[in-house]
C-alpha cells in the first residue's frame, strides 16, 4: 500500500482496518483546545509510563465519532467525538483506550497482520484466476470470495482481540491516574445505541464483520472492574469539565453550519458557552457585527481570559480592522507567555496594518512562534511575508522552503532552499538549515522515483 500506515481505530463501528493516513485529513489547531486536551490526558499518560512531553492529542476535523493512533505517540481525536461526548470524562476514557494501543504497539502489529491477510487474498485471487482461465468462471469467483472472507475473518478476529486487551489497558491507566471510569462506560453505551441503529446486536449473525467487540460486551466486561476501582465515585475535575464545555461550544460554532449552531445556542441563552458558540457561528456566517458583539460580551465577563481576547482580536482582524485587533491580541499573547498559535495571529495582525513601524515587533513574535511550534506552516508564511517587506529575499526564500517542506511540497521546498543558500552567508545557521532542506528534499524525490 505504498507509504500508507494502517490505523488502529476505536470507534469505527463496522469494518476493517482504516488505511487513510492521518495527514490526509484536516487537522484543527487551537491553543485553548490543545491546552485542555493536554491537561485532561497528562495523568493518564503518566499512568501508562509514557512522557506527556512525547504524547500528543491531535484534533481532526471530521464529524464521525472516532479516535485512532497511526504510529508513534500521537492520538488523533475526531471533532465529531468531542461533539458527541457529554463530558470531559468520556473523552478521557477514549484517550486512555488509545494510549493502550500505543503501549501495546498495535499499529506495527496491525501492519504485520494486514500483510498476512493480504497474502491470503492474493493467493485466492491467483487460484481464482487459474480456475477462470480453465473455463470455470463460477468456480473462479467462488474461490476469490472464499479467499476474501478468510482474509477478512482472520484480520477481524485479530482486531477484536487487540481491542479487548486495549480496553483493559485503558481501564488500568484511568485507575492509575485516579480518573473515574464512568466516562469510558458511558461512551461505550453511546456506541451501543449507534450499533442498534445499524441493526447490530450482541450475539447476532452480523457480529463477525466487526473489527471491535460489540459495545454491550465491552460494557459487561469492564463494568465490574471499573466499579471496584477507588476512583469510580470520584467526581470529575469541575474546572476541566467547565473548560470542556467551552471548547465543545467553540468547536461546534466553528465546524457546524451556523444555522444549526444558532438553533442549539439561541440568543436568549446568555451563558458563556452559548456566547462562545454564537461568536464563532456569526463569524463563520458572515455577520461581523454580531460576532464582535458576542466576543465583546465575553471579554467584559472575563477581561483576563486570553482566549476571549484572542477571539476578539481575530474577529477584528478578519473583519478588516487589524489596528483595532492589536491591543487584544497583544494582551492574549502576553497572558499566554507567547503561545505560538496566538502569537502567530498577533504577528499576522501586525503585518496586516502595513505599518513599517510594526515590522520589528512582528519579526520577534513570529520567530518565537516558529521556534516553539515547528508544525505551524501559517507562521512560516507570515515570516516569509515579513522578510519580503524588509527586502531580505534570502530569508524569505528560507521561510518559503520551511513551509513547503512542512506541508510536503518538495517541488517548492528544494528550489526555495537553494535560492536561500545562494543569498545567505555560507556556514551560518540559516544557510545550514537551507542545506538540510535541500538534502532531505532531494533524498525524498529520489525515493519517490525508485518507488
Neighbours of 51 (CB within 10 A): 10
Report the alpha-carbon distance of residue 324 to residue 62 in Å, rounded: 34
pLDDT given at position 328 = 98
* The model scores a pTM over 0.85: no
Going residue by residue through the chain (451 aa), what tens digit of pLDDT does each one get?
A: 333 333 333 333 222 223 334 444 688 999 999 999 999 999 999 999 999 999 999 999 999 888 888 878 999 999 999 999 999 999 999 999 899 988 887 554 444 433 433 333 334 344 434 444 444 445 444 444 444 444 444 433 434 446 767 888 988 999 999 999 999 888 888 877 776 564 545 444 443 334 345 555 677 678 888 889 999 999 999 999 999 999 999 999 999 999 999 999 999 999 999 999 999 999 999 999 999 999 999 999 999 999 999 999 999 999 999 999 999 999 999 999 999 999 999 999 999 999 999 999 999 999 999 999 978 899 999 999 999 999 999 999 999 999 999 988 999 999 999 999 999 999 999 999 999 999 999 999 888 888 7
Report the alpha-carbon distance of residue 145 to residue 165 in Å, rounded: 30
What strands, in cross-sheet order, belong to the sheet with 8-9? 8-9, 67-69, 74-78, 56-60, 27-28
pLDDT given at position 25 = 61
pLDDT given at position 101 = 86
Residue with the three cell numbers 473548560: 243
Amino acid at each position: 500500500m505504498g507509504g500508507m500506515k494502517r490505523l488502529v481505530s476505536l470507534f469505527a463501528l463496522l469494518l476493517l482496518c482504516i488505511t487513510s493516513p492521518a495527514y490526509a485529513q484536516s487537522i484543527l489547531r487551537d491553543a485553548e483546545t490543545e491546552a485542555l486536551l493536554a491537561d485532561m490526558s497528562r495523568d493518564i499518560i503518566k499512568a501508562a509510563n509514557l512522557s506527556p512531553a512525547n504524547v500528543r492529542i491531535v484534533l481532526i476535523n471530521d464529524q464521525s465519532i472516532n479516535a485512532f493512533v497511526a504510529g508513534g505517540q500521537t492520538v488523533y481525536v475526531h471533532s465529531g467525538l468531542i461533539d458527541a461526548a457529554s463530558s470531559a470524562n468520556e473523552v478521557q476514557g477514549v484517550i486512555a483506550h488509545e494510549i493502550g494501543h500505543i503501549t501495546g504497539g498495535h499499529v506495527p502489529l496491525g501492519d504485520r497482520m494486514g500483510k498476512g491477510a493480504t497474502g491470503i487474498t492474493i493467493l485466492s485471487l491467483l487460484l481464482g484466476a487459474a480456475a477462470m482461465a480453465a473455463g470455470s468462471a463460477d468456480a473462479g469467483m467462488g474461490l476469490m470470495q472464499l479467499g476474501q472472507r478468510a482474509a477478512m475473518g482472520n484480520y477481524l478476529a485479530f482486531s477484536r482481540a487487540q481491542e479487548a486487551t486495549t480496553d483493559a489497558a485503558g481501564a488500568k491507566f484511568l485507575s492509575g491516574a485516579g480518573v473515574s471510569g464512568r466516562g469510558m462506560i458511558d461512551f461505550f453505551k453511546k456506541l451501543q445505541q449507534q450499533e442498534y441503529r445499524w441493526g447490530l446486536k450482541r450475539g447476532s449473525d452480523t457480529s463477525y464483520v466487526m473489527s471491535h467487540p460489540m459495545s454491550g460486551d465491552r460494557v459487561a466486561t469492564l463494568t465490574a472492574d471499573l466499579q471496584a476501582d477507588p476512583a469510580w465515585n470520584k467526581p470529575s475535575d469541575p474546572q476541566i469539565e467547565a473548560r470542556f464545555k467551552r471548547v465543545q461550544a467553540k468547536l461546534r460554532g466553528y465546524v457546524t453550519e451556523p444555522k444549526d449552531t444558532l438553533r442549539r445556542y439561541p440568543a436568549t441563552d446568555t451563558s458563556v458557552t452559548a456566547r462562545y458558540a454564537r461568536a464563532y457561528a456569526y463569524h463563520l456566517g458572515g455577520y461581523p457585527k454580531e460576532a464582535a458583539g458576542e466576543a465583546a460580551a465575553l471579554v467584559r465577563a472575563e477581561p483576563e481570559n486570553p482566549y476571549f481576547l484572542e477571539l476578539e482580536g481575530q474577529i477584528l482582524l478578519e473583519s478588516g480592522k487589524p489596528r483595532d485587533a492589536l491591543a487584544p491580541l497583544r494582551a492574549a499573547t502576553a497572558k499566554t507567555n507567547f503561545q505560538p498559535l496566538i502569537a502567530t495571529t498577533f504577528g499576522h495582525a501586525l503585518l496586516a496594518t502595513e505599518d513599517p513601524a510594526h515590522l520589528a515587533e512582528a519579526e520577534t513574535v513570529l520567530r518565537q512562534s516558529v521556534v516553539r511550534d515547528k508544525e505551524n506552516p501559517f507562521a512560516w508564511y507570515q515570516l516569509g511575508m515579513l522578510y519580503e517587506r524588509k527586502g531580505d529575499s534570502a530569508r524569505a526564500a528560507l521561510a518559503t522552503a520551511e513551509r513547503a517542506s512542512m506541508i510536503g511540497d518538495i517541488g517548492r521546498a528544494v528550489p526555495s532552499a537553494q535560492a536561500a543558500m545562494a543569498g545567505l552567508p555560507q556556514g551560518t545557521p540559516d544557510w545550514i538549515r537551507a542545506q538540510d532542506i535541500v538534502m532531505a528534499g532531494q533524498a525524498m524525490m529520489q525515493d519517490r522515483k525508485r518507488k
